[in-house]
Structure 1
């Protein structure tokens, strides 16, 4: 299925895909933004002395880990190779608090349950996954919010770099990716979300969120479609 007809919400299901202009991304004005691909979210094994509940949770997240290792990380590596090979801007954002007890976190990262994200910035779990680690001169932004624009200087950095188009990949589609995409769109950046380089906890959540944000806040493309837009024939 083409990006012209994929992920149509109720608002756009009657739109004629042929009326949508081709997507052509000026490489000099386009940056890759990699969101929250951190060690904490891809553990290699259950924790030491795992309880039955820990083991059950490990199995519950198995489909997510499979998508990450089989789809998201390889797609992200392709995007990184292209942007680096053409000497274009690559930026990373990560969730990391500046205090050990996380007292500087936003409320959305301090609620009970999954979103209680205590990831001190010097800890191993808060670092970018080694499979997609930033190079020495690539910008890494630390945030304690879902949107990478809230409370950071990302907008200023993109402006200083002359960026108008932002290609977004990472996790979680329905949380930090979506929040960042909405903020970028509200700041009048043209946003591409790369379907196979993103993941939510479940495929159902991933697809539902892409359906919500597509066509209004961004355009959802595959890695192949994104690379084609960066290299029009």
Structure 2
């Protein structure tokens, strides 16, 4: 068992195992999507406390510590750490994409300067790190991130963040379509439920990205050091 055989959908059962990726320091960056204060406040009401308890537990005990570890490792190695967050540029949210205006779960009115729109304190960007603010699910579609990555010489993007089945997946697909090599860190991501999380990883694995654990990624980085 391991990243070369785990998270395989129907389409890739029996497919050859992929080769270990080569991750040169100057061509590899860590990108974290949407780990913002708003999503750590989902259990402020009695109904939410039950519904979101598993998600919040995973975020506090697994995802945030994992992303902290990876960010520290990338920074120590002189590798780029980038951040994306979802927020609107206008107070009334007219600049949001249609998907962010639909009623229900996807409806988000997060003006960029509000406390709820900020990245959680544990993952606060360091001075000089790239932070993009998007009004779409995909961090490429809604920003100039593709151009920034290309200008920086980045070819390999390591992905962490939330939600696995929404903004993470949308960004992964956009990166893959732009011919970036993408790796998604399983324990650095979360969806509303573990079932949604795993299902989306199986959908995007092998075609749009490779899914692996943080420890597997760290081992690869050591190999490429």
Q: TM exceeds 0.5?
A: yes
Dislocated runs of 4+, deviation >4 Å: none
Give runs of aligned pairs for residues 170-189 of structure 1, distance below 5 A.
170-189=161-180
Q: Deviations over 1:124-173 (max 9, x none)?
A: 00000001110111111000100000131000100111100000000000
The 2-side partners of 1:126 and 1:213 are apart by 27
Asked if the contact 2:42/2:49 (under 8 Å) is kept, the reply is no
Aligned twin of 2:69? 78
The 2-side partners of 1:44 and 1:94 are apart by 17
Unpaired runs of 5+ residues, structure 1, are 47-53
Following superposition, the deviation at residue 102 of structure 1 comes to 0.7
Unpaired runs of 5+ residues, structure 2, are none
Following superposition, the deviation at residue 24 of structure 1 comes to 2.6
Out of 29, 39, 42, the position equivalent to 1:41 is: 39
RMSD over aligned CA atoms reads: 1.2
Structure-2-length-normalised TM-score: 0.97
Q: Does 1:24 align with 2:15?
A: no
Following superposition, the deviation at residue 84 of structure 1 comes to 0.7
- How many residues get paired? 224
Structure-1-length-normalised TM-score: 0.94
Higher alpha-carbon Rg? 1
Asked if the contact 2:9/2:202 (under 8 Å) is kept, the reply is yes
